[in-house]
Structure 1
Amino acid sequence: MQEKEILEQNDIIDISMDSNADESAANSTNLNDSLAQDSELEKAQAELTEQKDKYLRLMAEFDNFRRRTAKERLELMQTAGKDIVVSLLDVLDDCDRAEKQLATSTDIALQKEGIQLVFNKIRSTLQAKGVKAMESINTDFDVEKHEAITEIPAPTQAMQGKVLDEVMKGYYLNDKIVRFAKVVVGK
């Protein structure tokens, strides 16, 4: 019987030692878990700092881009007409020469010819830049292209609703209307 008691006591001691071993193992696991959590937290904080830095750099880069494009757009608007102005300077020089010729010459035929050359040059210069005159007379009135100044009785039934006269020519710039034609319409 004593032997049995001794064996039971040994089992109790073994069991208590096992439970102590488990507790110490659990404590070491808790330490390992907290170390792992700390390293994950540091890793997450480092990643967050890196992302914030990337975000700030991206915002600064975008702000610089916005300022640069605004400046370029302003410069473009200021010099957009430079090409047409430079090409019209030749016509202006011709106008100056024609004016001098008008003051010194008495030959009307020669003066008319010189002025006609200036008119043709300005038309060809504008045409080279994409300006095209709108043909309106004897066409159907179109509210998309024409601005009716007045209506007059049509001379024939066929001329009703058509453009009879053009008070001011309309123009296209690269197939877009830049000025509507002011017309007289038959009713």
Structure 2
Amino acid sequence: MNKPEMQDKSMETENNGFNINADENVDGNQHLNEPVAEESETETLKEQIAQLNDKYLRQAAEFDNFRRRTAKERVELIQTASKDLIKDLLDVLDDSNRAQEQLEKTDDIAQIKEGVNLVFNKFRNTLTAKGLKPMDAVGTEFDPDLHDAVTEIDAGEDMKGKVVAEVQKGYYLQDKIIRHAKVVVGR
């Protein structure tokens, strides 16, 4: 038999309803060279895996860069955090230097006193402008969250449990305690 006759016979077999394919899930009339649907699904799944893997690697690299950048910014912030305060205190330092020069040149006590008081007031005003606030402790109830008791003294019944004197002043910075007041408490 020549080739055209064989093709005609195979066509007859397909048309007569004979199932020449031994696989139950695939119709015998289906051409065997056609791609199976499972292969195309596998390829799309492999592509999706590759895309997700690429996306994951990019996000991991982006997060790592973000972490490095924020760490660097934090270090820079810490290094320059006091820059504004120091800059404002330079004016007070200049005034202190001028006051020191005047101390050496003059004997007028009233003038020296006035100059030193001006420097002290400027210093206090600069710190207050930056959020520093002194703690008023004398005459208030002793509070261990605010005060450090240095000693107790007999102060009478009306001052019992209250702060009688301050040994060292306490301070707030933006309403947070930065130094507790060291106090003498009445008993």
Q: Could you state the TM-score of these two structures normalised by the residue count of structure 2?
A: 0.85
Q: How far apart, CA to CA, are the structure 2 residues paired with 1:30 and 1:142? A: 92
**Partner letter of residue 18 of structure 1?**
G
Is 1:62 the counterpart of 2:63 in the alignment? Answer: yes
Q: Which residue of 2 aligns with 1:185?
A: 185
Shift in Å at residue 142 of structure 1?
Answer: 0.6
1:67-113: CA deviations, max 9, x gaps? 00000000000001111111011001111110111011100110000
Q: Which residue of 2 aligns with 1:172?
A: 172
Q: Which residue of 1 aligns with 2:135?
A: 134
Q: After alignment, is 133-142 or 28-37 more displaced?
A: 28-37
Q: How far apart, CA to CA, are the structure 2 residues paired with 1:28 and 1:115? A: 109
1:23-34 matched pairs, under 5 angstroms:
26-27=27-28
Report if aligned partners of 2:152, 2:184 keep a CA contact under 8 Å in 1: yes
**Partner letter of residue 174 of structure 1?**
Q
Q: How far apart, CA to CA, are the structure 2 residues paired with 1:62 and 1:132? A: 41
Gaps of 5+ in 1: 1-13
Q: Which residue of 2 aligns with 1:3?
A: none
Q: How far apart, CA to CA, are the structure 2 residues paired with 1:32 and 1:158? A: 106
Shift in Å at residue 35 of structure 1?
Answer: 1.5
Report if aligned partners of 2:19, 2:29 keep a CA contact under 8 Å in 1: no
Sort the Cα spacing of 1:31 and 1:41 in 2 relative to 1 into closer, same or farther, 3 A: farther
Q: Which residue of 2 aligns with 1:101?
A: 102
* RMSD value, Cα: 2.2
Q: Which residue of 2 aligns with 1:53?
A: 54
Q: Which residue of 2 aligns with 1:20?
A: 19
SS in 2 for 1:138: coil
Shift in Å at residue 29 of structure 1?
Answer: 5.2
Sort the Cα spacing of 1:39 and 1:112 in 2 relative to 1 into closer, same or farther, 3 A: same
- Identity %, equivalent residues: 54
Is 1:87 the counterpart of 2:110 in the alignment? Answer: no
Gaps of 5+ in 2: 1-12
Q: How far apart, CA to CA, are the structure 2 residues paired with 1:37 and 1:90? A: 80
**Partner letter of residue 181 of structure 2?**
A
Shift in Å at residue 60 of structure 1?
Answer: 0.4
Q: After alignment, is 160-169 or 32-41 more displaced?
A: 32-41
SS in 2 for 1:20: coil
Normalized per residue, which structure has more helix?
A: 1
Shift in Å at residue 18 of structure 1?
Answer: 3.2
